[in-house]
Amino acid sequence: MMVFILVMSLHGLQSMITELLPEFSVGGLGVSIGPFWFVAMSVVLLFRSFWACLAIPVGGIVFGEILIGDFSALGAVEGLVVITTSWFFAMSLVTDPSDVKQIAAVGFLAKAMEETAAWFIDVGKFYVGVEELEAISWLPETVWATEGMGALIQIVVAGIVFGAVPTLFLYPRLRGKIEPLLGMRSAGGRDGPMFTRSSLKRLVAWVGLLPVAFAVETLSETSGGLITFTPEFVETYGQTFLFVPIAAAALIAFGLVAYRQRKVEGGV
């Protein structure tokens, strides 16, 4: 539970901070600078648990949707499924947690899997007619290229520039320092190949759950979000309202660490 709350709040914090940053254009495609994925890569791969993986999309939902007043229950399912399963598979490949290059590569793979899955889902929504995507009218197959280019740019920007590369520097500085604050030991390595039977099961789960994520996302586009919360605080109060979820996430993250540190130092 401590790990879940920490990852959720840290990811929510950096996601909201990057929301304040402007987008830029690459070849006519809008690209957001964030999230700064090296935060999730470094912290999640310290603990390597299912709950740490689940905390990434939950952090985005709580701080990036609910607290800013733009939440759709069905619309949140895609992220929950795709992000969680992508990270859960990728972390199974770690054999040597002290090998920073392996950690960075695994984090990049998780982000690449996430963007690839989102690419397929977005194209699928075009083919079933629930969303209009950019494509040449007489050649709808170009949607694969336009959406694929957007996914590729995000993989490079979020997966490498703001993901794997900073992780090379941040992860070794956190390992062995964050875990004791939560009263935990550093996750150990294992012998054998990176890809194991457990990895195969997780990869099969990733593939098998993609149609589920697609079906629910399509349903959300056609029949609403089932449960929605849309007071749209940012539209009402402006960008300064983003400091509310930023403050909430920071308070939870640093408050949790301070609380656990006192417990550990007190021998509890």
37-75 pLDDT per residue, tens: 888 889 999 998 999 999 999 999 999 999 999 998 888
Query: What average pLDDT does range 113-123 have in this prediction?
Result: 92
Q: For 155, which DSSP code?
A: I
- pLDDT at position 129 is 72
- pLDDT at position 54 is 95
Per-residue pLDDT tens digits for 1-40: 889 999 999 999 988 888 887 666 555 555 555 568 888 8
| Calpha distance 125→215 (Å, rounded) | 9
Query: What average pLDDT does range 244-255 have in this prediction?
Result: 94
- The model's confidence at residue 135, banded by pLDDT at 50, 70 and 90, is low
- The model's confidence at residue 183, banded by pLDDT at 50, 70 and 90, is confident
- pLDDT at position 136 is 52
- The model's confidence at residue 108, banded by pLDDT at 50, 70 and 90, is very high
pLDDT above 70 as % of the chain:
88
| Calpha distance 2→257 (Å, rounded) | 9
- pLDDT at position 133 is 56
Cα three-residue angle 245-90-219, rounded to 5 degrees: 60
Phi and psi at 71, nearest 5°, equal -120, 135
| Calpha distance 167→266 (Å, rounded) | 32
User: Do 77 and 216 touch, CB atoms closer than 8 A?
Assistant: yes
- pLDDT at position 91 is 94
Comparing 34 with 167, the larger pLDDT belongs to 167
**Out of 156-160, 200-204, 225-229, 255-259, least confident range:** 225-229
On average, the pLDDT of the chain sits at 87
> Above 90 in pLDDT, residue 201?
yes
Number of Cβ atoms within 10 Å of the Cβ of 33: 16
pTM of the model: 0.89
Query: What average pLDDT does range 178-189 have in this prediction?
Result: 84
| Calpha distance 174→10 (Å, rounded) | 14
